[in-house]
Amino acid sequence: MKTPLIKAARHMAFIAMGVAFLLSATTPAKAEAAKYNFDKAHTQILFFVNHLGFSNSQGEFHDYDGHFTFDPENPAASSVDVAIKTASIDMDDAAWDKHLKNEDFFHVEKFPNMTFKSTAIEVTGENTAKITGDLTLLGVTHPVTLDVTHNKSGTHPYSGKFVSGFSATTTIKRSAFGMKYGLPAVSDDVEVRLEVEGIRQEAAQEAETDAKADSTDAE
């Protein structure tokens, strides 16, 4: 014969189990930083260098690979990883492009890539942050900090894909990486400006990409 105390204890236990189940079913999983692929049609890697005091000449890199992750709820958990093809430099002049590709500047045959990999992110405001990472250029690596503004995240009105956009700036000294040709007439300070749009890689798309990779590896 069960005593009223035992019945009450079991009743309370069932209630506790029910509450625990409801909490586990309704509490969302902790969000993780989503992976984004660069939308290359709307991403620009620009730089500006003072040329003999006459102008601030602009250059651009067109070819690069990589991705970034972004968690709007916890921006400090985001990351950036990009490799830029140095031979894709474009100064809007064939002779100038050729010179910048040789050993005086980017020495593209020996150093075909420069890379940036984030190491820390400091949130500085509602839509701003400082992203510090390792920049490797001409085989030399130094930390660089980008001042970043998160412009907007949302569904693209035409493609229907989820997009996040950012603007970033920094200034580096090219001599720190061993690029000393033309100093000081051609400025040591290089102003870098990035305009970035990334397309969020959805889980289904990522699974499909991984499956294709596995299939290729098997062949």
Q: H/E element holding 204? A: helix 203-218
Q: What is the pLDDT of residue 32?
A: 73
Match domain 31-218 to its CATH number in 3.50.90.10, 2.40.128.110, 3.40.50.1700, 3.40.50.970: 2.40.128.110
DSSP label of 75: G
Q: H/E element holding 190? A: strand 186-200
Q: What is the pLDDT of residue 31?
A: 54
Asked if 73 and 31 count as a contact pair (C-beta separation under 8 A), the reply is: yes
Pick from 128, 117, 132: which is nearest to 68 by CA? 117
Q: What is the pLDDT of residue 90?
A: 98
pLDDT (tens, 9 = 90+) of the chain, 219 residues, equals 455 444 444 544 444 444 344 333 333 344 578 999 999 999 999 999 999 999 999 999 999 999 999 999 999 999 999 999 999 999 999 999 999 999 999 999 999 999 999 999 999 999 999 999 999 999 999 999 999 999 999 999 999 999 999 999 999 999 999 999 999 999 999 999 999 999 999 854 554 444 455 444 445
CA-CA distance, 75 to 173, in Å (whole number)? Answer: 28
3-state helix, strand, coil in the chain (%, to 5): 25, 45, 25
Asked if 76 and 88 count as a contact pair (C-beta separation under 8 A), the reply is: no
Q: What is the pLDDT of residue 190?
A: 98
